[in-house]
């Protein structure tokens, strides 16, 4: 970076995804700050930033992925550490926001954990948040500090734009993902279809019917998260029954928990494209899966925040 600024920019990685933090630093052409997260014999975490951060503009890169609670606590500790070390501003960079799916009371006597996590991050001392593809956009309003919410659609769309797939139909695997599918289809100049599903239990869904024409079409399903893989795999089977010629899947966050890898391997899915917001587990490497990086997107957002430039152009 040729620009100069009164505050020094510092990028610090937690233990969740140091490879992504290093890639962000490569884009910014700065070194990754020297810090560590260790574990005491009793299981408690120990955090230390070993570089001088007084007066700095600090960015903590820490997706709160599995192990979710440990990575969340490490994030809170690093924010607290930086504030006590007199960093002028601390931004929590959350490529993946854990607990995002608990964003409302959908039944009695349950917590709104996404709001609780927002309170914890703010109380720890974060001055602002940089997030990517939050499961629910309203989570931005859970914070009383500025939130820059980026979209990974441009990054996910790029490999498919290069492929120039004929007879392409972008499919939303449920009604909730239509908000992603519409702009994704517009980017690719594709038709749109939707799979209607019923949720039988929190982790079990059942596809109902397809809204739109997929007969003989090349289908591209888009979602923000692949967790257990239940929704996307059930939708893939239904789409194949409806005559889809090929099925590809794009998703921002490859959580891939529980039986996800097995389900994806058995489903009629030809290709999966995900981003590196979360480290891809080794078990998934046997799948027809490829990873595109969001490091440059996050790096550019960090650069603009640091130099007090508009981030709005990166929202789309």
Whether 258 has a pLDDT exceeding 70, the answer reads: yes
- pLDDT at position 302, please? 98
**pLDDT score of 201 more than 70:** no
pLDDT, mean of residues 75-81: 98
More confident residue, 290 or 201: 290
Residue 241 has which token pair? 């029954």
Range 290-303 average pLDDT: 98
Q: Is the pLDDT of residue 234 over 60?
A: yes
Instruction: Name which of 90, 101, 131 is nearest 294 in CA terms.
Output: 131
Average pLDDT rounded to a whole number, residues 195-216:
78
pLDDT tens for each residue of 167-186: 999 999 988 899 999 999 99
Give the pLDDT band of residue 286 (cuts 50, 70, 90): very high
Q: Residue 237 above 50 pLDDT?
A: yes
Q: Which of 15-29, 184-198, 246-260 is predicted least confidently?
A: 184-198
DSSP string computed for 202-235: TTEEEEEEEES--TT-EEEEEEEE-SSSHHHHHH
Q: What is the pLDDT of residues 29-66, one digit of tens each?
A: 999 999 999 999 999 999 999 999 999 999 999 999 99
pLDDT per residue as tens digits for the range 145-166: 999 999 999 999 999 999 999 9
Q: Is 48 a catalytic residue?
A: no
What rounded mean pLDDT belongs to the chain?
94
pLDDT of residue 200: 61
Q: How many angstroms separate the CA atoms of 180 and 30, rounded?
A: 33
Domains, the chain, ordered by start: 9-151+295-314 (3.40.50.2020), 153-292 (3.40.50.2020)
Asked if residue 221 lies in contact with residue 249, where contact means CB atoms within 8 angstroms, the answer is yes
One of 8, 197, 217, 242 is an active-site residue; which one? 197
Q: Is 51 helix (H, G, I), strand (E, B) or coil?
A: coil
Please measure the distance between the N-terminal and C-terminal CA atoms of the chain and give it in whole angstroms: 24
pTM: 0.94
Contacts of 81 (CB under 8 A, 6+ apart): 47, 48, 49
Q: In this predicted structure, what is the pLDDT of residue 249?
A: 98
Task: Answer whether residue 313 shows pLDDT above 90.
Answer: no
Q: Give pLDDT, residue 2.
A: 45
Within the chain, where are the H helices? Answer: 18-28, 68-84, 113-124, 153-163, 178-188, 230-241, 260-266, 295-306
DSSP annotation of 31 reads P
The confidence band for 7, taking pLDDT boundaries of 50, 70 and 90, is confident
pLDDT of residue 263 exceeding 70, the answer is yes
Distance CA 71, CA 78 (A): 10
Span 201-210, mean pLDDT? 70
Residue 104, Cβ density class (10 Å: 0-12 exposed, 13-18 middle, ≥19 buried): exposed
């Amino acid at each position: 970076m040729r620009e100069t600024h009164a505050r020094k920019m510092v990028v610090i990685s937690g233990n969740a995804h140091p490879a992504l933090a290093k890639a962000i630093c490569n884009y910014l052409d700065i070194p990754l700050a020297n810090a560590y997260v260790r574990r005491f014999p009793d299981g408690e975490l120990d955090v230390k930033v070993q570089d001088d951060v007084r007066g700095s503009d600090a960015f903590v890169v820490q997706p709160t992925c599995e192990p979710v609670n440990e990575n969340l606590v490490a994030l809170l500790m690093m924010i607290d550490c930086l504030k006590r070390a007199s960093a002028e501003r601390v931004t929590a960079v959350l490529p993946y926001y854990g607990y995002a799916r608990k964003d409302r009371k959908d039944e009695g006597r349950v917590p709104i954990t996404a709001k609780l996590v927002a309170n914890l991050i703010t109380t720890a001392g974060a001055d602002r948040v940089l997030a990517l593809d939050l499961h629910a956009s309203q989570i931005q309003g859970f914070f009383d500090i500025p939130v820059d919410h980026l979209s990974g659609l441009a990054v996910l769309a790029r490999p498919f734009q290069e492929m120039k797939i004929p007879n392409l139909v972008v499919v939303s695997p449920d009604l909730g993902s239509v908000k992603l599918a519409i702009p994704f289809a517009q980017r690719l100049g594709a038709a749109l279809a939707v799979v209607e599903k019923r949720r039988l239990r929190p982790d079990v869904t059942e596809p109902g019917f397809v809204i739109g024409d997929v007969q003989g079409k090349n289908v591209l399903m888009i979602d923000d998260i692949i967790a257990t893989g239940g929704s996307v795999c059930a939708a893939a089977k239904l789409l194949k029954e409806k005559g889809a010629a090929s099925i590809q899947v794009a998703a921002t966050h490859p959580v891939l928990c529980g039986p996800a890898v097995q389900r994806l391997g058995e489903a009629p899915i030809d290709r999966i494209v995900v981003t590196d917001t979360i480290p891809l587990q080794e078990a998934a490497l046997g799948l027809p899966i490829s990873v595109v990086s969001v490091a440059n997107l996050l790096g550019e957002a960090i650069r603009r925040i640091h130099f007090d430039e508009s981030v709005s152009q990166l929202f789309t």
